[in-house]
Chain A
Amino acid sequence: MTNHWIDIRNADVVFIIGSNAAENHPISFKYVQEAKDRGGKMINVDPRFTKTSSLADVYAPIRPGTDIAFMSGIINYALQNDFIQKEYVVEYTNAAYLINPAYKFNDGIFSGYDSGKKTYEKDTWKYQLDDKGIPKKDKSLKDPNCVYQLMKKHFERYTPEKVESISGCPVESFKKVAELYCSTHKPDKVATIMYAMGATQHTIGVQNIRTYSILQMLMGNMGLAGGGINALRGESNVQGSTDHALLWHIIPGYLGAPVASKDVNLEAYIKNNTPKTNDPMSMNWWQHKPKYLVSMLKAWFGENAKKENDFCYDLLPKAHKPVPYMTMFEDMYKGQHKGAIFMGTNPIVGGPNSNLILKAIEKLDWMICADLWETDTSVFWKRPGANTAAIKTEVFLLPMVSSVEKEGSVSNSGRWAQWRYKAQQGPGNSISDLDLIDELFLKIREMYEHDVKAGKKVALPDPITKANWSYRHPGEHEADPHIVAKEINGYYVGKDGKKGKQMENFLKLAADGSTACGNWIYSGSYTEKGNMMARRGLKDASNKIGMYPEWSWTWPVNRRIIYNRAAVNRKGEPWDPKRWVVKWTGSAWKGDVVDGGATAGPDQKNPFIMNPEGVARLFAPALADGPFPEHFEPLETVARNLMNSRQLNPAVSVLDTMKSTIGSTARFPYIGTSYRVVEHWQAGAMTRNLPWLTELVPDMFCEISLSLAKAKGIKNGDKVKISSARGEIDSYALVTDRVRPFKIDGKMVEMVGMIWHFGQGCAESGDSCNTLTPSVGDPNSSIPEFKAFLVNIQKA
């Protein structure tokens, strides 16, 4: 979230798309309701009429996978009718920036496409530069090569009629949404966009979100109270785990993971990864990247990290190829992994194309599952139909404590790191994740050191033996999460009297080895004043918009709304004086912790400090699949692409293991999609063991329309078989008029919606929806396309 949960209440329009927030983020609705109580309106766009839709002022249905068409229609509506916040757009976005005249877009393909590699060479997407190396601009927005004009041309193809033919949303409903949302282009009106996995889990997932961002920029809604782009994270700490580099392509604090072929040493990494700008208006915050990386290396390798050895940069693992989730399991399937540790994850239920994941796991020599209970994955070898005798994998199940049985921080969607105390002792021999990792590491290091000492040949011992790993107090047998949190915050290594003191924040981090910091964005969370995350102050800030800056701690530097420089005009006056976030007094900033440091005035620096140009990108020259969003169909689809002659996003590569199992409408004529219900938690191992919750949702079920039920002779509560090119599952059918077929390109198409919480383990078991889903993903994020694929359904 650029904003935070409480801030939703400040919105005039709450636009929920790709999210069933009422179901999956119930607490968010406290604030949605508060916005409505203030007179705000709520829009919900969803393939089904959901719990969220039931509380919406305006509901519009769209076929899964057509967000770009729908939202681009709104972009076109806004541009054609000039419903944009002009001053904001000119000043704070790249609308006025001139693009290389060689940039072209033709029939779904942007200039620079390599059809063999399915990638783009992005030279033609670059800005035109003046003789000082600063991007050229035309603030009148008339130059045919300026982003505004290119954008107008790109999106004018998305007419309301096209939106209807592609998405199935009637023109009338589309227009209602467009009209209500675009009412927030006025400077003192604001909309928030709340989205979740319904938007991201597509082969065009990142570009879906791009359409939201473009709209929020055109309306001038970024940085304002009640505005922003708000990703509702699907787990209580998924924000924290992403911040700390859960994903393969980053290291903590969103620094790029070193790539073996080019980031060969520290100098090369810094050169390849640190953006530059000649524009004096740009803060170009990532210029500080070397400080963050070197400080992280000091935290990780301690005294071993010295200037003369590149601060142990060589000891960081380097990526030889992209290894996102799906590729990892493909590699496992190909026999490239000996073992796997699954901590709090249940991949045979949660991962796409789970039959493949099962086959992959069967090839492991050993597997460790660390969880609260037996999970479906931990008992994969005795699932129905398994050839148990042939499976050689040795399985270890380690008992872990639950979230209330351990101390530590949890970062919510609004970037609040909130410290939790330990409420009670875990049962039996269960331990915390921290203790598991700590014990495992110390044991492994002991083995390495032993072998090195004994003169045995050991491959690459240094990353293990030289790591700065000390998370226990002397004499203790358990790691202390406070020590970890202090390291994440960072501390002075050198610098005279400050040695050993906690960092105040990341502004003082240095690239010379004098500071250590585990994760720069969390610097300031645990200072000499103590654990800021444990704060529970109830005082609001001077702007009284519900920021509560003394409650816990928010990254970065306790800033509650990021890009808040965009909340004021160039004079520093808030766009909406009644709901101001920050304001410039002529010499200082008031309100929220302003972006990019307190000294620069609003007319001296651009607000979008993480981009080297300092403004937001309506035209994004860095993405894998194009600078503007364009509609493409899912890998498996019921429709032909009405926008261009390409079906699938041209930047998507399909994995070898997936190529032979792509279904078509001949055998699988219906749209399949998947989602969650409030009663179950993700892959279900936590909730399918709780009788109060299985009372509410005891079985795997799908939702189908009255018309599909009639055509297939299925009654409510019947058992059905649902199949895709990758497998078949049993399910119950919920027949409901909340689900309706879509009229796509003149033809009616039906949808089968499924929950994905069930698997063949736990107290209540059932078939897993992910038996059916494809392992194909977005070219930028590699998130799998769980939300749109092809299935068939029969009465069982």
Chain B
Amino acid sequence: MAEKAFLVDTSKCQGCRACQVACKQWNGLPGEKTEFFAGPEYTNPGKLSAITWNHVIFFPIDRSNETRPIWTIMHKKCFHCAEANCMAVCPEKAIYKKDGWTVIDQDKCIGCGACVHACVYQVPEIAEIHHTNDAGQHIIVKDRSHKCNACTQNEREIPACVTVCPSGALLYDYRNKMIDYAQKRVKELKADGYPNASIYGLDQYGGLGVITVLRDKPEKYDLPVNPPKFDHVKAEHTKDVYALLSTATMGVPALKRFAYKAAKSISKDA
């Protein structure tokens, strides 16, 4: 587990989305072509992707308490699980931990999509390369998997998203300090009329690198308190089969991807 952690305090987030833009700027990611809004309220794009490593989700307003409606606005990115499923399934050991942060080694990644399927939080995505072939057809080629690397690649002391947050909704410090702070915030929120205020990320998948403070229960924000257990046996089996098949791929990524697909299908039947 990382020594440090992010803290996302949704009770202080004002939805300015500076985090989303700063990430794209620091990591050289292009803007996505969108129409209207892809998610609830102002959410855009609708999900994380190979070129959108964090985004802000605007949940629909909850007016169940008429005098104190809750409109939750939540920064979302890779949670950097201590026991990262994506890392466990990666057949090429392309996903590794750097100072506790989950990072995809772009030189090793074959774009098989194992991590995409393994992630409960729908974080990584395989980049698509668009080009037109000689016959004028539009071709989309799957490339490699991308996601937040906690600014460990284009390295900086404080991650870009945290640096630009104006209101203290995004913090970055030692994990135990962040947890203490989160607990203090939840206590304050409960006293302030939010009896269901909660913390997410203390122990899911061995503890997350992103601690989220919420004014209501995590389930309301699509955050499973008891996320599905990871099937290590199946994952190891798939990787074994892939190891055998991949000897015939001569290192060609497209063939490797094919080999992984086959391995997955074989181990499914097993």
Contacts and interface: CB of A to CB of B under 8 A. Distances in A.
A417 B41 CA distance: 38
A55 interface: yes
Interface stretch (B10-18, B146-154, B200-208): B10-18
B25 interface: yes
Contacts of B70: 54
Contacts of B44: 695-698
B73 A51 contact: yes
Nearest to B9: A33
Interface in B43-85: 44-45, 52, 60-61, 63, 67, 69-73
Contact-residue bracket for chain A: 35 or more
B36 A732 contact: yes
B60 A737 contact: yes
A736 interface: yes
B269 interface: no
B17 A736 contact: no
A692 B25 contact: yes
A54 B73 contact: yes
A480 interface: no
B36 A698 contact: yes
B15 A695 contact: no
B31 A694 contact: yes
B73 A30 contact: no
A689 B217 CA distance: 40
A701 B36 CA distance: 7
B166 to A, nearest CB: 5
B71 to A, nearest CB: 4
Interface string A761-789: 00000000000000000000000000000
A174 to B, nearest CB: 13
Contacts of A693: 21, 31
A682 B166 CA distance: 21
Given A29-B167, A717-B36, A734 B31 contact: no
B41 A699 contact: no
B45 A695 contact: yes
Contact-residue bracket for chain B: 35 or more
Contacts of B45: 695
B69 A59 contact: yes
B168 interface: yes
A23 interface: yes
B168 A734 contact: no
A55 B41 contact: no
B57 to A, nearest CB: 13
A699 B61 CA distance: 22
A699 B36 contact: yes
A27 B18 CA distance: 11
B37 interface: yes
B15 A51 contact: yes
B167 A26 contact: yes
Interface in A688-725: 690-699, 701, 717
A526 interface: no
Interface of B: 11-12, 14-18, 20-21, 24-25, 30-37, 41-42, 44-45, 52, 60-61, 63, 67, 69-73, 166-168, 192
- 4 A-B pairs with the lowest CB-CB distances in the bound complex, closest first: A691-B31, A695-B31, A22-B14, A54-B71
Given A22-B167, A173-B67, 10 more contacts: A30-B168, A32-B167, A51-B14, A57-B192, A59-B69, A691-B30, A692-B21, A698-B36, A699-B36, A738-B41
Interface of A: 22-23, 26-27, 29-30, 32-33, 49, 51-55, 57, 59, 173, 677-679, 690-699, 701, 717, 732, 734, 736-738
25 contacts: A23-B16, A26-B166, A29-B166, A29-B167, A33-B168, A51-B15, A51-B73, A52-B14, A53-B69, A55-B12, A59-B69, A692-B21, A692-B31, A694-B34, A695-B45, A696-B42, A697-B44, A717-B37, A734-B36, A734-B37, A734-B41, A734-B42, A737-B60, A738-B41, A738-B61
